[in-house]
Amino acid sequence: MELGLKDRVALVAAASKGLGFACALELAREGAKVALFARTEEAIQAAARRIREETGAEALPLVADVTKEKDIANAVSKTVEHFKALHILVPNSGGPPPGTFASLGEAEWHTAIESTLLSTVRLIREALPHLQQAGWGRIVVITSTSVRQPIPGLLLSNTLRTGVVGLCKTLAQELAPYGITVNNVGPGSFDTDRIKLLLERRARERGISVEEARRQMEAAIPLGRLGRPEELAHMVAFLASDAAAYVTGQTILVDGGQTVAL
Does the residue 2 lie in any domain? Answer: no
Could you tell me which of 39, 109, 90, 42 has the C-alpha nearest to residue 68?
A: 39
Q: What is the pLDDT tens value at each position of the chain, 262 positions in all? A: 689 899 999 999 999 999 999 999 999 999 999 999 999 999 999 999 999 999 999 999 999 999 999 999 999 999 999 999 999 999 999 889 889 999 999 999 999 999 999 999 999 999 999 999 999 999 999 999 999 999 999 999 999 999 999 999 999 999 999 999 999 999 999 998 888 888 998 899 999 999 999 999 999 999 999 999 999 999 999 999 999 999 999 999 999 999 999 8
Does the residue 173 lie in any domain? Answer: yes
- Together in a domain, 43 and 130: yes
Q: Are 222 and 232 in contact (CB under 8 A)?
A: no
- Together in a domain, 121 and 196: no
SS3 154: strand
- Together in a domain, 199 and 183: no
Does the residue 72 lie in any domain? Answer: yes
Residue 92's domain spans which residues?
Answer: 9-188+229-254
- Together in a domain, 163 and 203: no
In angstroms, the CA 177 to CA 172 distance is: 9
Q: Are 38 and 16 in contact (CB under 8 A)?
A: yes
Does the residue 259 lie in any domain? Answer: no
Does the residue 3 lie in any domain? Answer: no
Cβ neighbourhood burial of 88 (10 Å; 0-12, 13-18, 19+)? buried
- Interacting residues of 71 by C-beta distance below 8 A, sequence separation 6+: 37, 63, 64, 65
Write down the pLDDT at residue 95.
84
DSSP structure class, residue 190: B
- Together in a domain, 85 and 161: yes
CATH number of the domain bearing residue 93: 3.40.50.720
- Together in a domain, 112 and 206: no
Cβ neighbourhood burial of 107 (10 Å; 0-12, 13-18, 19+)? exposed
Write down the pLDDT at residue 262.
83
- Together in a domain, 129 and 205: no
- Together in a domain, 20 and 132: yes
- Together in a domain, 72 and 155: yes
- Together in a domain, 103 and 176: yes
Amino acid type, 157: S
The number of folded domains in the chain is 2
Write down the pTM of the prediction: 0.95
Write down the pLDDT at residue 193.
86
Does the residue 92 lie in any domain? Answer: yes
Does the residue 4 lie in any domain? Answer: no
Does the residue 20 lie in any domain? Answer: yes
- Together in a domain, 23 and 70: yes
- Together in a domain, 97 and 204: no
Instruction: Give all strands (DSSP E) within the chain, no chain letters.
Output: 9-12, 33-38, 59-63, 88-90, 137-142, 180-187, 251-254
